[in-house]
Structure 1
Amino acid sequence: MTCTGERAVKSRLRTPSWIARIESPDGRVLGAGVLLAPDRVLTAAHVVVPGRPYAVRLVGVRGLDAVAAGVRADEHVPQQQDASGDRSGDLALLRLATPLPAEHTTRLYRLASPHGPVSMYGFPDGDDGGRWHGATLVAARGRDSQVQLRPLTPGELAAPGFSGGGVVDDTTDRVIGVVLSVDSGPGSAFSYMSPTETILSHLPQVAAWTDGAEAVDPRLRTGPDTAGALDVPFATELASWSRGEGWPVLVTVVPAHSDRAWTLRRAVTLADRELRTRHNTSVFGHDPPETVPPAGAHDLALDVKGLTAAEVMDRIAARLGVPDDPRPERLGSLRVPLAAVLVGVDEAAEPGALLGLVDRLARQGARLLLVFRRRGEGLAQATESLVDHPLRDRWSRLHRELDRIVDELGPALDRRRDGVLPGPGTRHLLDQAESGVRRTRMLRAWVAHSPEREREPRAADLLFTFEDAADRRRQRLEQAIGLLDARLRRREELLGRTGAEWPLCRQRAGTDGDRVMEAYRLYEDALALLRQTPCDIERAEAAVERFVGFCSAPDPGPEGTP
């Protein structure tokens, strides 16, 4: 049995014993599954139907016969689709008529996703023995937080025979979910998986075969016995942060035992894949939609009261699958973007050291919600160092970038365009680059006179949009300038070649006046085109070739000479 600390897959060269092939009574392969217990196999709901007979075979175990299996209606969660097209469910637990040996089982593992390389095992058409496919976790999709899997190569797109198969994280070698479906239609590039915590939200009994730290500290959860008044503005702010809107670090004050504290626990609970069940979503179903965060919005929600910075780092590392390592340098290997909620920062055992840790995480691109219990020096320090100062710096960098585009790169492009015409197929790029300078000039004027409310942390998406636009325009300008510089260098090369060829040509022509005059005419034609501004390189190069070709041709000698 695969226990904590052991690897679910010791080698991709063999088939793990926990991989199940699900068959119809006549032996037709329907899909894959994960043997979690001697008598339980986890799979996708669309692979099986309650009340029908099936057979389960462990393809990685020799000499073991298939066993009969079926699924009950209360352990079958069919896929549903809401009005927005978001999918949910599609999970089932098969019960085996005859238990299989316990040493062939494995366990699911809670691991923050969706980032990193994974492997999945399934049974594509014509390959009943199965095979490994590689993929990368891309992003969560929809309210059920199903995760997109991008195949490493086009041939590794998960075929229907992968449905229900286990997804193994390549870093930890843990089973972190099961394959659900494949995009349909031509050009399909994605399949989808249900991560462990989403599985647990639909089939809580699977917790008996699950390892890994839960994302949400028990002290930060809402339950059926808790109630409070919803602070709508605060709930809206939390949901906005959860959706990835605004500045990535939100620093706020939430006194304990307040409506604001209850609102925070509600947001944390609804944003967790495992805790966001059909029950609690129906309880909050009448709340304003803008106050409801998406599932999977955070990787960890932790009450840090009394904890050291090292203990907080350990919890983050465990959630992200970072191997045990006491050195803080391991933060460099964390899967980012991390999204973490840390509550009670001012009540931590080492508030200063903890702020140093979160500063390092923020520099790595993490999204952080930092909750203080009271106002004070720590709150002011965190707000200044993690929000106000970096935000001012980003606006200043944007100003400098806009100035560089308008005052440096734009004129540089103009000077080059005055010197040389664009090459074939490049005129559109140069026109786009020039247009980008004009738009940047208008953007710079807007930014210089924009109201202060446009520079607040909650409006940071505007800053990010401007940064992206400036970056694209800068790159386009640099590319256009580079192309024109190459043509200008070619012009100098042609001038040098023409100037070096002329005395040699005169020497070879000797006393043949007609030949000298023709060479001089071709020489002047080439120089005129090369010195023309803007220079047409193609025409000038053709003229240079005519001149050099004439000079290099053998002398025909006096007229009539045989």
Structure 2
Amino acid sequence: MTRTGERAVKSWLRTPSWIARIEAPDGQVVGAGVLLAPDRVLTAGHVAGPGRRYTVRLVGVPGLDAVPATVREDEHVPQRADAFGDRSGDLALLRLAAPLPAAHTTRLYRLAAPHGPVSMYGFPAGDDGGRWHGATLVAARGRDSQVQLRPLTPGELAAPGFSGGGVVDHATDQVIGIVLSVDEGPGSAFSYMSPTETILRHLPQVAAWTDGAEAVDPRLRSGASAAAGALDVPFATELASWFRGEGWPVLVTVAPARSDRAWTLNRAVTLADRELRTDRNTSGFSHDPPETVPPAGAHDLALDVKGLTAGQVMDRIAARLGIRDDIRPERLGALRVPLAAVLVGVDQAAEPDALLGLLDRLARQGARLLLVFRRRGERADQAAESLVHHPLHDRWSRLHAELDRIVDELGPGLDRLRDRVLPGPGTRQLVEQAEAGVRRTRMLRAWVAHTPEREREPGRADLLFTFEDAADRRRQRLEQAIGVLDARLRRREELLGRVSAEWPLCRRRAAAHGDQVMEAYRLYEHALSLLRHTPCDIEPAEAAVERFIGFCSASAPSTSPSAPSAPPAPTQPTAPGASRKESAP
């Protein structure tokens, strides 16, 4: 919302009043910005830096004069590359020499797991008035959680004049970040956005102009002091693995309050949040084993659910995802990016059973859930059984059934078709790959049947997912190959029908011309021979049928005096065990 209570954008047909065009002293447009306060404009760090003067103009507000602006050292975060080569920072706050009307300001909005369509406003070369470009959010990139933007059309790739411009989410109509950069070089297809929470990580003062629920419950945050608790390394490693998206998507664990495990949990939750993970707190854990440090932006919500009802938990999840009107669990299943949530104190919720029912539904829709109980007991065991062990066992069973279907049903089905018809020139590779997939699946089935129990543990579920993906690809390829061969077999039956139906008519017409009976019979026998040959090669058989039909209708080139007659049907000896012929009716 703006300060006047209006949406960030009322209409996609006009220029937003909060969009700022940033110019160098010579009048050249260097980028765009977002007016957050009468005297503050947020932009990209490579657009504006300390030691230079700029001019800011609200192009969507007629009659307003341009305002001089500068950037202070402490409000400029240059773009850097971290140890892994990922981009980081690239943010700046411009201070205006004179305030602009407050009615034209807007606010940033925190939005977890950005998804769906967005629009950005910028100033490509030759268009100083600016324009909207559409895009979809793809995924976070790198440790700074910059988000990739895929243009809706090739012409909507964000040009350099979009740098610093606001990105508006269509579902909420809120500004959820700013454009940072564009892929360089020919064939580039992406630009990048710094989401609100990453902006707050680098420029915490921007929180004064930010709305939206914070990701981490204040009761679950940890400070940078390593003396606050002792790191439980095995537990921290397990948590970091879950935050990286490894293993089974639901992790059920126990962490008593005011214990080393509780402190280790709070540390992981804090480091996994875009907004809370700063250079200051990460330096406090710089000597910890790297396998215990989760990536930033690894969860959408971390909530202490002690005393909360299932409905209140759903409200908090909906608020983080920007769902305002119809708050129902099934809506989460339609999200492009699955929910990743940490819920602590599940056994201390106001409605533990109802909450577990809600969580079971979310898990079935693909949500990643870290469920923390404060005490060991029946509820924790029930949650582990219903959300982890039972569905994991079912997935292994379904995998085994799928492998059986590939090896015992689809593979033999393909073989039967291969015995009757050959693949076409354009599908031969597909059929060969499908046959190779059956052989590999036969070996995989044997391995799965003797998989050690330790390989079936929740933390090793990535192995299951890999096998499922392989089985799914092989099944789809087999079904496609079977479909292709089945279509060719149906074509063979159609050609047989044409030949059989045409022969009596053709024989009578040829008899009227005396010496053409033998030629008609020869062409008929040749076409029938190719069609009855197994496996049937459709292309030469179809050509023979067309010659026969053409002769019978007196339209084939073979009936013309100047055209050569059809070649005689080749006679080849049949070797033992080679191709065989079906008897003619």
RMSD of aligned alpha carbons = 1.6
**Residue of structure 2 equivalent to 1:406:** 407
**Residue of structure 1 equivalent to 2:494:** 493
3-state DSSP class of the match of 2:548? Answer: helix
**Residue of structure 1 equivalent to 2:309:** 308
**Residue of structure 2 equivalent to 1:295:** 296
1:208-219 to structure 2, matched below 5 A, reads: 208-219=208-219
3-state DSSP class of the match of 1:99? Answer: coil
**Residue of structure 2 equivalent to 1:478:** 479
**Residue of structure 1 equivalent to 2:110:** 110
Q: CA deviation at 1:58?
A: 0.3
Write the deviation string for residues 449-478 of structure 1: whole angstroms up to 9, x where unpaired: 010111111011011111111111111111
3-state DSSP class of the match of 1:73? Answer: strand
3-state DSSP class of the match of 2:252? Answer: strand
Look up the equivalent residue of 1:384 and give its one-letter code.
E
**Residue of structure 2 equivalent to 1:167:** 167
**Residue of structure 2 equivalent to 1:454:** 455
Query: In the alignment, is the contact (CA less than 8 A) between 1:108 and 1:177 conserved in 2?
Result: yes
Query: In the alignment, is the contact (CA less than 8 A) between 1:17 and 1:59 conserved in 2?
Result: yes
Q: Provide the rounded CA distance (Å) in 2 between the counterparts of 1:533 and 1:98.
A: 88
Q: Provide the rounded CA distance (Å) in 2 between the counterparts of 1:51 and 1:556.
A: 91
**Residue of structure 2 equivalent to 1:505:** 506
Write the deviation string for residues 376-416 of structure 1: whole angstroms up to 9, x where unpaired: 11111111111111111111111111111111111111111
**Residue of structure 2 equivalent to 1:196:** 196
Q: CA deviation at 1:6?
A: 3.5
**Residue of structure 1 equivalent to 2:154:** 154
Q: Residues 556 and 249 of structure 1: is their aligned pair in 2 closer, same or farther, counting only changes over 3 Å?
A: closer
Q: CA deviation at 1:424?
A: 1.5
Q: CA deviation at 1:334?
A: 5.0
**Residue of structure 1 equivalent to 2:79:** 79
Q: Provide the rounded CA distance (Å) in 1 between the counterparts of 2:379 and 2:400.
A: 30
**Residue of structure 2 equivalent to 1:141:** 141
3-state DSSP class of the match of 2:161? Answer: helix
Q: Provide the rounded CA distance (Å) in 1 between the counterparts of 2:533 and 2:514.
A: 28
**Residue of structure 2 equivalent to 1:418:** 419
**Residue of structure 1 equivalent to 2:577:** none
**Residue of structure 1 equivalent to 2:30:** 30
1:321 correspondence with 2:289: no
Q: Provide the rounded CA distance (Å) in 1 between the counterparts of 2:408 and 2:5.
A: 59
Q: Residues 347 and 10 of structure 1: is their aligned pair in 2 closer, same or farther, counting only changes over 3 Å?
A: same
1:376-387 to structure 2, matched below 5 A, reads: 376-387=377-388
Write the deviation string for residues 83-104 of structure 1: whole angstroms up to 9, x where unpaired: 3111111000000000000000
Look up the equivalent residue of 2:158 and give its one-letter code.
A
Query: In the alignment, is the contact (CA less than 8 A) between 2:246 and 2:462 conserved in 1?
Result: yes
Q: Residues 294 and 512 of structure 1: is their aligned pair in 2 closer, same or farther, counting only changes over 3 Å?
A: same
Q: Residues 460 and 511 of structure 1: is their aligned pair in 2 closer, same or farther, counting only changes over 3 Å?
A: same
Name structure 1 gaps, 5 residues minimum: 558-562
**Residue of structure 1 equivalent to 2:183:** 183
Query: In the alignment, is the contact (CA less than 8 A) between 2:420 and 2:536 conserved in 1?
Result: yes
Q: Provide the rounded CA distance (Å) in 2 between the counterparts of 1:81 and 1:150.
A: 22
3-state DSSP class of the match of 1:257? Answer: coil
Q: CA deviation at 1:266?
A: 0.3
Look up the equivalent residue of 2:276 and give its one-letter code.
L
Deviates more, 1:224-233 or 1:169-178: 224-233
**Residue of structure 2 equivalent to 1:560:** none
Q: Residues 334 and 312 of structure 1: is their aligned pair in 2 closer, same or farther, counting only changes over 3 Å?
A: farther
3-state DSSP class of the match of 1:199? Answer: helix
Q: Provide the rounded CA distance (Å) in 1 between the counterparts of 2:365 and 2:171.
A: 20
3-state DSSP class of the match of 1:115? Answer: coil
Look up the equivalent residue of 2:356 and give its one-letter code.
L
Q: Residues 176 and 426 of structure 1: is their aligned pair in 2 closer, same or farther, counting only changes over 3 Å?
A: same
3-state DSSP class of the match of 2:534? Answer: coil
**Residue of structure 1 equivalent to 2:121:** 121
3-state DSSP class of the match of 2:353? Answer: helix
Q: CA deviation at 1:325?
A: 3.6
Q: Provide the rounded CA distance (Å) in 2 between the counterparts of 1:454 and 1:330.
A: 34
3-state DSSP class of the match of 1:394? Answer: helix
Q: CA deviation at 1:336?
A: 3.7
Q: CA deviation at 1:360?
A: 1.0
Q: Residues 536 and 71 of structure 1: is their aligned pair in 2 closer, same or farther, counting only changes over 3 Å?
A: same
Query: In the alignment, is the contact (CA less than 8 A) between 2:4 and 2:103 conserved in 1?
Result: no
Deviates more, 1:225-234 or 1:542-551: 225-234
Q: CA deviation at 1:303?
A: 0.1
Q: Residues 224 and 408 of structure 1: is their aligned pair in 2 closer, same or farther, counting only changes over 3 Å?
A: closer
Query: In the alignment, is the contact (CA less than 8 A) between 2:114 and 2:337 conserved in 1?
Result: no
Write the deviation string for residues 301-354 of structure 1: whole angstroms up to 9, x where unpaired: 000000000000000000000014455554455564000000000000000010
3-state DSSP class of the match of 2:74? Answer: helix
Look up the equivalent residue of 1:106 and give its one-letter code.
T
Query: In the alignment, is the contact (CA less than 8 A) between 2:118 and 2:134 conserved in 1?
Result: yes
Query: In the alignment, is the contact (CA less than 8 A) between 1:322 and 1:334 conserved in 2?
Result: no
Query: In the alignment, is the contact (CA less than 8 A) between 1:336 and 1:366 conserved in 2?
Result: no
Q: Provide the rounded CA distance (Å) in 2 between the counterparts of 1:485 and 1:176.
A: 52
1:50-69 to structure 2, matched below 5 A, reads: 50-69=50-69
Look up the equivalent residue of 1:203 and give its one-letter code.
L
Look up the equivalent residue of 2:191 and give its one-letter code.
S
Q: Residues 339 and 41 of structure 1: is their aligned pair in 2 closer, same or farther, counting only changes over 3 Å?
A: same
Query: In the alignment, is the contact (CA less than 8 A) between 2:113 and 2:339 conserved in 1?
Result: no
Q: Residues 447 and 302 of structure 1: is their aligned pair in 2 closer, same or farther, counting only changes over 3 Å?
A: same
Query: In the alignment, is the contact (CA less than 8 A) between 2:329 and 2:362 conserved in 1?
Result: no
Write the deviation string for residues 476-503 of structure 1: whole angstroms up to 9, x where unpaired: 1111111111110110010000000110
Look up the equivalent residue of 1:16 and give its one-letter code.
P
Q: Provide the rounded CA distance (Å) in 2 between the counterparts of 1:539 and 1:47.
A: 67
How many equivalent pairs are there?
A: 557
**Residue of structure 2 equivalent to 1:542:** 543
Q: Provide the rounded CA distance (Å) in 1 between the counterparts of 2:471 and 2:559.
A: 62
1:272 correspondence with 2:273: yes
Q: Provide the rounded CA distance (Å) in 1 between the counterparts of 2:113 and 2:92.
A: 22
